[in-house]
Structure 1
Amino acid sequence: MEIGLDSRVCRSQIVLRRLGVALDGPVGCARLRPFALNPSWPSLTLKEAFQHSARPFRWILSGSGALLLAATLTAQAQAPAAPSVDATEEASKFAQVYGVLDENYMDTVKPDQAILEGAVRGMLSALDPFSAFFNRDQFDLLQQQARGEALGFGSVLYVQTGKVVVLQTAEGSPAWRAGLGPGDEIVQVNGTRINRLDFNSLIELLQRSRSQRVRLGVIHPGKLVAQDFALDPAEVALPTVDKTLMLAPGIGYIHCTGFEQKTAQELADAVARLGGPSLKGLLLDLRDNHGGMVDSAIGVAGLFLKPDQLVLTVRSRAQPEKSYRTVARGPADPQDHAGSPPSEFDFPMIVLVNENTASAAEVVASALQEHDRALIVGEPTFGKGVVESVMGLSEKTGLALTTAQYFTPSGRSIQRPLPGTALAEVDAATVGKGDQTQAHLGQQLADPRSRNAGTTTALARVFHTDDGRPVTAGGGITPDVVVPARSLDPWAAFLSQRGVFTTFASDYLTLHSRVDPNFEPDSKVLENFREFLTRERMRAPEEYWSKDQDYLKLRIKTEIITLAHGLDAANEVEVRNDPQVQKAATLFPKISSLLTAPEVNPGTRHKRRASK
């Protein structure tokens, strides 16, 4: 999320989507990112989202305000048709009610409050949790995100009640030019002391500072006196490829946070840095990727699929059915999908997913799965199979409206059944047919943990990949190999929620200004951490303290490396110690056998291939 300075969230990439907050990695600190709405939190405020996540977080404050960007695929919109007679009558009732309010309410009625905040948002919320109205600032931020840049200061911050710490600054950004770096603590913003603010007030202060000159009081690691800085905002990049490294000789790893205009080119560049076509394997991490633009998803799929392979089909009530396929093109072609280069990467692939992998990310994962191009590993995905069209309105406002459903190359819908909505019952006979009418999602999403609730006959319908492997419709994408995420006991989860690891790391660096990049916490550091917890009135239960030693060491190491050497160094520590990544990396020698279909009817397999 972008708000006055620049922030991402630290170790836990769960994105507090209503405002674009992204947490990344194992459970822990969070990183705010101006991205997409988490479909699992359809109407949360920032405070509610923070409470829902049960984790502290970090903010990317590149200068954008609170964003209500749905985790969507973007489609073109047709000009609105004339309203029906029924709609005209209902509009007349609304006008009468507003007239009565305007004349008789005890206070002056503000039209923008009554119509935009009340009527318009109420009308959209009655449809589904993805449709949304954007005011001028929100729509401007939406457009900045799509371009992959925003007005701001280029710094990544850790934000907790009474404390703001710099995690990293982008090279060439205003924060970088001013000399801010990892471990710097911001103690004042425009004369307001951070330690006097509660959490909500702190967030509001950061929001207000997002697009204008800001004065900061900053204490460098190992120092006791604050230094003053004045920063002017500038356009800074918002890359969606945030982690790139070699897991082992010849095996690359890339994490992608979303799908925007430049994502395909960012991903192609990242692959090239890892070795390009000479790679022996690539692990593409789409965990906690909530989607983005359909053209971007097609461009990314085109990096790894053959030309003219089907990626998805979109069907709506207002427009003819449209199929999207990969095409061969060069990066300089202005008409291409997000500037993606010709498909040239044919190395073995594994795609890592989880329950927060949604929308456009599911489009990419399902296309790679159904064309038998990649092995899908991790946990079942979210299951969002609908498309939002983004439309500009008057006075530079905008609207995101659910307008269509999409289907994977095999013809299946991955939309998760939503009890109490029009999608609670999906008739298997209509799945994959083009004549079904527009279905609204309803007001609430089911709990991701009970995604099988409302399962219908559609979920029992089996589809097949190009080579005949069975896949099922509805409820998201089921991985080819299920690998659960790291689970935390209540004590470890509590510590992560309270943000104690980053606070301890900040205090540690005050006394140890120089930390080796290969730093490893020893018994003395652990004892210091235990004493710190005691001072904070969080005495460790002995049974958990003994059991959680490895996890505590990893979190302490990650946070100290973050503040001492920046997020890139810490990300590598985190990725290499991620149990899902570790398990996925062991599967590369088995990919061929795992992608081999069981014995099937040869005629079925031939028909499936011919349909491509």
Structure 2
Amino acid sequence: MNRRQLFAVVILVTALVAGTWAVGRVQESTDNTYANIERFIQVLTKVRDHYVEAVTTDKLMDSAIRGMLRTLDPYSQYLDKEEAERLETTTHGSFGGIGISIGIRDGWVTVISPIEGTPAWRAGIQGGDRIIKIDGVSSEGLSLDDAMKKMRGERGTKVELSIFREGRDKPMDFTITRDIIQIKSVPYAGLLSSGVGYIRLSNFSERSREEIDAAIAKIEKQNPRGLILDLRYNPGGLLSQAVEVSEEFTPRGKKIVYTRGRDATQNRDFFSSADNPHTSYPLVILVNQWTASASEIVSGAIQDLDLGVVVGRTTFGKGLVQTVIPLTRSVRGPKLKLTTAKYYTPSGRCIQKEEQLKDGALAEEDDADSPSTAALPDSLKPKKALPEYKTEMGRTVYGGGGIFPDLELDDVKYPHLIEDLESKQLFFKYAVRYAVKHKEAPANYAITPAMRDEFGVLLKAEKFTYSPDSLAAAQHFVDTGMRRELARRYVGDEEAYRVALEDDEQVRQAAALFDKAATLPKLLTLATEMTKAKAVVNQGRGVDVR
């Protein structure tokens, strides 16, 4: 490609970006567009012709486009043909990989959450884990697309990850076998022993509405006295499914979410079209700091419309709309995934945390999320003054990005020993060994002293090093892991989930709310009282209201 041809191509691209397409129509009159294009061509041709190693124009153009988009935000991306096909597969079908949702934080590939039931989830990968190496190569500065490329692959092949986890002195190494990742939205739904319905919604894909419909129907046959919708570690997904899931609980005509962008075509309001929403029992939405995007739309709508209360931790704050724009006439050609708008809850709160966009990456948040304060409840972290909004019934809720819960719940902190046992799949190995010797599971999966001794023998055989004191201190968590994997081995994944929920402290606290408030009005009154209790506390600090 000669200089004149290159100039013509760049002029065409610039015209499309600056004038023809809906995005970016308004161009400041001070822009010296042609001078900037000329400057770009000068640099490109000098690099192509004189760089110490041969580089092609195609490679330079591709890198320039990706670099330009990287300065905007972590989500605007150029997708070549293969990347565009992978995006389509991730949203609508299945793919070979390890099953994690990732973002960029402080220049590093960071796990938002593992997809439940996948190899990464079974290996013990957690939200917040920083991936520092993939197959022995540093991931610092790696783009999301490149990281996904490296971690996906044929079923049965292995990928090695080095993980930095907050609170650990040394990196953790994982060898994970890839599998076909089926996108399932509801891995578990059932009635807790307390009589409260529970639905775990792990992502928003094409079948989310269908799956949650079936889950609600299953639970309602058992006459629940309330419902917990668990959105913890839910990284989001399709906007359409966020709206449809919200409709399950939202009367017809109520606004669920709206978007606003620089381009007027991006300004859209989404209303419920449901005729028979499920409002006959109180609803609790369970969230944490890794609840993001579409799951924040649902949480914000339920809270703003006073259809339930939100409990847990302040959510992630990913409220940007990405529009996928074809760059050729072919449906299988390259595409531009561009941030074109922001999400707002019915009360007017912007979901996006602006500090997440510093320097075009998921920057570390302010002091409230620094390593020294990350373990604190949200109410005990230093805060800036937050804008106040009102729900439909006049309750006070807070803006500033993310969804602030009506009731804060402490995170459950797992001992490092448990994380190491999970990463080496030793609970799973124990269950396999136990099942070889026993045709039936122990009653209620109860762990006996003899079984604990057998587990110790396994640890020795696997050359797993630990101190007896650390094992004794973590015995409750060890027993939980053993019970869960025994349930999985003898019955299946759903039974393992049920057993694990029995020991989930946050779920227990959420279920206990229905003891204090048996109806939705009483639950909202309780939430109002909790909000008022927090409001009287010093602006710089808060209280964890129980």
* Pair 1:378-2:312 in alignment: yes
* Pair 1:150-2:100 in alignment: no
Indicate how the Cα distance of structure 1 residues 302 and 156 shifts in structure 2: closer, same or farther if over 3 A, else same. closer
The equivalent of 1:446 in structure 2 is 364
Indicate how the Cα distance of structure 1 residues 467 and 534 shifts in structure 2: closer, same or farther if over 3 A, else same. same
Higher helix share: 2
Q: How far apart in 1 are the matches of 2:91 and 2:491?
A: 30
For residue 506 of structure 1, report the CA deviation from its aligned partner: 4.3
Q: Quick one: which of 335, 346, 364 aligns to 2:280?
A: 346
The equivalent of 1:244 in structure 2 is 189
Q: How far apart in 2 are the matches of 1:509 and 1:156?
A: 28
Q: How far apart in 2 are the matches of 1:599 and 1:204?
A: 46
Q: Quick one: which of 508, 515, 524 aligns to 1:582?
A: 508
Tell me the amino acid that sits aligned with residue 449 of structure 1.
D
Secondary structure of 2:337's counterpart equals: strand
* Pair 1:495-2:495 in alignment: no
After superposition, residues 70-149 of structure 1 pair within 5 angstroms as 78=22, 81=25, 85-116=31-62, 118-147=63-92, 149=93
Residues 406, 530 of structure 2: 8 Å contact kept: no
After superposition, residues 7-86 of structure 1 pair within 5 angstroms as 78=22, 81=25, 85-86=31-32
Q: Quick one: which of 359, 362, 367 aligns to 2:296?
A: 362
* Pair 1:323-2:269 in alignment: yes
The equivalent of 1:291 in structure 2 is 236
Indicate how the Cα distance of structure 1 residues 308 and 506 shifts in structure 2: closer, same or farther if over 3 A, else same. same
The equivalent of 1:390 in structure 2 is 324
Residues 320, 341 of structure 2: 8 Å contact kept: yes
Task: Tell me the alpha carbon deviations over residues 454-496 of structure 1, each in whole angstroms, 9 at most, x when there is no partner.
Answer: 9655x2x211111121111114222112122321233333433
Question: Over the residues paired in the alignment, what is the CA RMSD in angstroms?
Answer: 3.8
* Pair 1:408-2:352 in alignment: no
The equivalent of 2:396 in structure 1 is 470
After superposition, residues 215-254 of structure 1 pair within 5 angstroms as 238-248=183-193, 250-254=195-199
Q: How far apart in 1 are the matches of 2:69 and 2:417?
A: 41
After superposition, residues 171-250 of structure 1 pair within 5 angstroms as 207-209=152-154, 238-248=183-193, 250=195
Tell me the amino acid that sits aligned with residue 370 of structure 1.
D
Indicate how the Cα distance of structure 1 residues 250 and 530 shifts in structure 2: closer, same or farther if over 3 A, else same. closer
Residues 311, 409 of structure 2: 8 Å contact kept: yes
After superposition, residues 503-582 of structure 1 pair within 5 angstroms as 503-509=429-435, 515=441, 518-582=444-508
For residue 83 of structure 1, report the CA deviation from its aligned partner: 7.4
TM-score (norm 1): 0.62
Tell me the amino acid that sits aligned with residue 109 of structure 1.
V
For residue 127 of structure 1, report the CA deviation from its aligned partner: 0.8
* Pair 1:308-2:253 in alignment: yes
Task: Tell me the alpha carbon deviations over residues 171-221 of structure 1, each in whole angstroms, 9 at most, x when there is no partner.
Answer: xxxxxxxxxxxx9xxxxxxxxxxxxxx9669x99984425xxx899xxxxx
For residue 372 of structure 1, report the CA deviation from its aligned partner: 1.0
Gaps of 5+ in 1: 1-76, 158-166, 170-182, 184-197, 217-232, 330-341, 422-440, 601-612
Task: Tell me the alpha carbon deviations over residues 17-61 of structure 1, each in whole angstroms, 9 at most, x when there is no partner.
Answer: xxxxxxxxxxxxxxxxxxxxxxxxxxxxxxxxxxxxxxxxxxxxx
Residues 279, 307 of structure 2: 8 Å contact kept: no
Secondary structure of 1:569's counterpart equals: helix
Q: How far apart in 2 are the matches of 1:544 and 1:275?
A: 43
Secondary structure of 2:200's counterpart equals: strand
Residues 23, 340 of structure 2: 8 Å contact kept: no
Q: How far apart in 2 are the matches of 1:538 and 1:249?
A: 38
Task: Work out the number of aligned pairs and report it.
Answer: 431
Residues 304, 346 of structure 1: 8 Å contact kept: no
After superposition, residues 426-445 of structure 1 pair within 5 angstroms as 442-445=360-363
Moved over 6 A (4+): 203-206, 451-454
For residue 350 of structure 1, report the CA deviation from its aligned partner: 0.8
For residue 294 of structure 1, report the CA deviation from its aligned partner: 1.7
Indicate how the Cα distance of structure 1 residues 456 and 313 shifts in structure 2: closer, same or farther if over 3 A, else same. farther
The equivalent of 2:410 in structure 1 is 484
For residue 399 of structure 1, report the CA deviation from its aligned partner: 2.5
Indicate how the Cα distance of structure 1 residues 509 and 204 shifts in structure 2: closer, same or farther if over 3 A, else same. farther
% identical aligned pairs: 27
Indicate how the Cα distance of structure 1 residues 480 and 599 shifts in structure 2: closer, same or farther if over 3 A, else same. closer
Gaps of 5+ in 2: 1-20, 101-115, 123-133, 138-147, 159-178, 532-546
Q: Quick one: which of 265, 273, 276 aligns to 2:218?
A: 273
Tell me the amino acid that sits aligned with residue 364 of structure 2.
A
Q: Which moved more, 1:533-542 or 1:316-325?
A: 533-542
Indicate how the Cα distance of structure 1 residues 83 and 407 shifts in structure 2: closer, same or farther if over 3 A, else same. closer
For residue 112 of structure 1, report the CA deviation from its aligned partner: 4.5
Tell me the amino acid that sits aligned with residue 22 of structure 2.
Q
Task: Tell me the alpha carbon deviations over residues 283-307 of structure 1, each in whole angstroms, 9 at most, x when there is no partner.
Answer: 1000011111222111111110111
Indicate how the Cα distance of structure 1 residues 410 and 141 shifts in structure 2: closer, same or farther if over 3 A, else same. same
The higher-RCO structure (CA 8 Å, 6+ apart) is 1
Residues 417, 454 of structure 1: 8 Å contact kept: no
Q: Which moved more, 1:124-133 or 1:395-404?
A: 395-404
TM-score (norm 2): 0.69
Indicate how the Cα distance of structure 1 residues 239 and 419 shifts in structure 2: closer, same or farther if over 3 A, else same. closer
Task: Tell me the alpha carbon deviations over residues 255-289 of structure 1, each in whole angstroms, 9 at most, x when there is no partner.
Answer: 11112232122211211122269543211000011
Secondary structure of 1:312's counterpart equals: strand
Indicate how the Cα distance of structure 1 residues 544 and 416 shifts in structure 2: closer, same or farther if over 3 A, else same. same
Tell me the amino acid that sits aligned with residue 413 of structure 2.
S
Task: Tell me the alpha carbon deviations over residues 135-157 of structure 1, each in whole angstroms, 9 at most, x when there is no partner.
Answer: 3233223223333x23679x999
